Amino acid sequence: MKFDTPATTNPIDNGKVIGHPHDRIDGKLKTTGRAPFAYERNDVVANQAYGVILGAAIAKGSIARIDTRDAEAAPGVLAVVTHKNAGKVGKAKANTVKLMGGPKIDHYDQAIAIVVAESFEQARAASHLIRVNYEAEQGAFDLAAATATAVKPKLGDSDPADSKVGDFESGFAKAAVRLDQTYTTPDQSHSAMEPMATIAAWDGDKLTIWTSNQMIDWARRDLSETFGLPKKNFRVVSAYVGGGFGSKLWIRSDAVMAALGARAAGRPIKVALARPQINNNATHRPATIQRIRIGANRDGAIQAIAHESWSGDQKGGQPETAAMQTRLLYAGADRMTAHRLATLDLPEGNAMRAPGEASGLMALEIAMDELAEALKMDPVQLRIVNDTQVDPENPKRSFSHRNLVGCLKQGAERFGWDRRSAMPGQRREGRWLVGVGMASAFRGNMAMDSGARITVGSDGQVKVETDMTDIGTGSYTVIGQTAAEMLGVPLEKVTVLLGDSDFPKSSGSGGQWGGNSSTAGVYAACMKMRAAIAKKVGASATDVVFENGQVRFQGRSVALGDAVGSAGLTVEDTIEFGKLAKTYAQATFGAHFAEVAVDAATGEIRVRRMSGVFAAGRILNPKTARSQVIGAMTMGLGAALMEESVVDPRYGYFVNHDLAEYHVPTHADVPVQDVLFLDEVDDKSSPMKAKGVGELGICGAAAAIANAVYNACGVRVRNYPLTLDKIVPYLNKA
């Protein structure tokens, strides 16, 4: 099914199931331990052994010698696999480096061996018996030092590394008020609850993996490229995924090493990355250095804006595209953005929740706050003045739907923004300095082709099959709601099966595209089912009404199960979005507001309340959407105040590689979070008239907190996170 024109009226608009806050249909399974995650699948294949991965102890260089004899002789050991006996192991195009290292080492903790044994404890003990001699080389680990050799990276034609409209330098020089500041964001870890984990089982040259992965079809492709076997030889199952935030968009070393270990041992094996391995073995959000220059008139209208960002990655990697949102968020005639990529020998940098915008808005939205102060203008009003309904770099392309102004106005009223003092340090409660801050939220809306298979049985039960994944976002529920709405049955009559490559290819979960795209695919399949049922009962597809488990047409009413007949009916279809992205600028919007308290003596920061108003098309399920947004706002709080993967510049690894030392927000850190979704639909985004929402909540949240800290105590911190050492020395001087 092609989606070429807006679906102005369609069955999804009935709103009997879609748009309602249904409980997650997988919720009881998860809270009672009956939703098995990858490592727990003892039921899928018999005689499972255990694998433990050994990682490299250097960041750059090569293996001079690796001795596995003691490990192979250890109790219970079935096989030890290294580069010497693994056979041909390639690199998938999506991976920056090989997921099995040796003899060349690309980064610290790169997988170099796997030990397979009868028990996990035996495999772990034997892994310590492997002796490795390295030839270490000097690596590059410092982004600031590497910017001098950074290069312009190759990105897609639709979103090139650099953009230019007008004459920024001239426009900036003429501006009445100018801002020129540099901001930094650190390396960050995804820290998903479920580690990367895989069970692998070979049947001849065919491999099945039960794994924790966000994108089933991408995983099959990556396995095919890694092992040099046809894609059809691989089956990937990820029925439940315990969080990913982008770290599981592509296969990781657990999948590759499990496959190698299972082949060597001649048995199925299970592998999980231990928590201390994840931060260095898997991917992370790269650090950035961002220079922002804005020139404005005295009335606040931006005349010139430039955003330059430097980040680092392994050779052949990609940058953190932190300047992308600046191309679309605010108006201004003279514009320039640029991304530069430095080669670093740290573990691979890659997508983490809202890649680009999350880091970019941490800088841009502080810059807007600083500009508002220079203009002596309210920060909310500054953003309203610079709103735009068209792509500033391509004015002929309008937004499919944009209501940033509505978010700003309702957010300000809801939060009580009018009680704010523009002068920092004016509100004190005992030892606490109290302030408020705000920031815009912006996240691009992408649509991905997505398919589904629908079966209606003679009993009126509906089954949906698609390889879409649920990474804790509520995919099971919104997909079930879509089928229920389209076929006129209660949600309880729908069974949803996800995360299996035997099912039709879906959009997968990532980039905030999953909910809107996958439900649109189910919509397409349901439309095909409606047409097939109409034909079966001898009616026109446009005249048939599906409601309350009945099919109504020509004054007649037939039970859905009777309409499909004793054999039932199965159809399959895919939604295709064509040139939608070129026709319209698509994005989601929001406004963050935060109140913080800063201890006047110690610099300790307490976030007291957070509020967010968001515009993201039709909200398919307000309960699951709110859950996603408050989780994203919480990640924004962590990014503002505590999250940082600290690099050891001597050895090139992240020192704080577990949850004891990589600090994330806990219950004590998180206040009550107020969330409001504006009532809107976007009929150009998809037939669901929805957009993504899962990543929008993190975008701008950190900057709102940073701006609130400045309003509280007068200390402007431009280098995240806002730790005590960046506050205390300046408290008495502010």
Residues with a catalytic annotation lie at 695
In the numeric block, the tokens 């735009």 are attached to 388
Q: Closest by alpha carbon to 310, among 453, 435, 153?
A: 153
Q: What does the DSSP 8-state code read for residue 684?
A: T
Q: Closest by alpha carbon to 225, among 94, 327, 82?
A: 94
| Helix (H), strand (E) at residue 414 | helix 404-415
Q: Closest by alpha carbon to 90, among 224, 199, 259, 252?
A: 224
Q: Which amino acid is at 527?
A: M
Distance CA 347, CA 141 (A): 10
Strand 605-615: give its sheet, edge to edge. 428-429, 432-444, 587-599, 605-615, 673-677
Which residues, including other chains, have CB under 8 Å from residue 622's CB and lie 6 or more apart?
Answer: 19, 20, 21, 677
**What tokens were used for 467?**
């390889």
Q: Which amino acid is at 409?
A: K
424 preceded by cis ω (within 30°)?
A: no
**What tokens were used for 248?**
């599981």
Alpha helices by DSSP H, listed for 114-270, are 120-127, 143-146, 168-174, 216-227, 253-265
**Distance in angstroms between the alpha carbons of the first and the last residue of the chain:** 60
In the numeric block, the tokens 């809801």 are attached to 414
Q: Closest by alpha carbon to 475, among 240, 213, 632?
A: 240
For the chain, the 3-state helix, strand and coil shares in percent, each to the nearest 5, are 30, 25, 45
Report the residue count for the chain: 734
β 494-497/462-465 pair status: parallel
Assign residue 451 a region (left: φ > 0; alpha: ψ between -120 and 50; beta: otherwise): beta
- Listing DSSP states for 308-373 in one string gives EEEEEESTT-----TTGGGGTSS--SEEEEEEEEEE--SSPB---SSTTHHHHHHHHHHHHHHHHH
**What tokens were used for 385?**
């003045």
Q: Which amino acid is at 5?
A: T
| Helix (H), strand (E) at residue 29 | helix 27-31
75 preceded by cis ω (within 30°)?
A: no
Alpha helices by DSSP H, listed for 613-692, are 622-641
Alpha helices by DSSP H, listed for 459-613, are 475-487, 514-536, 560-564, 580-583
**What tokens were used for 361?**
């808005």
Burial class (CB in 10 A: 0-12, 13-18, 19+), 468: buried
Distance CA 368, CA 317 (A): 31
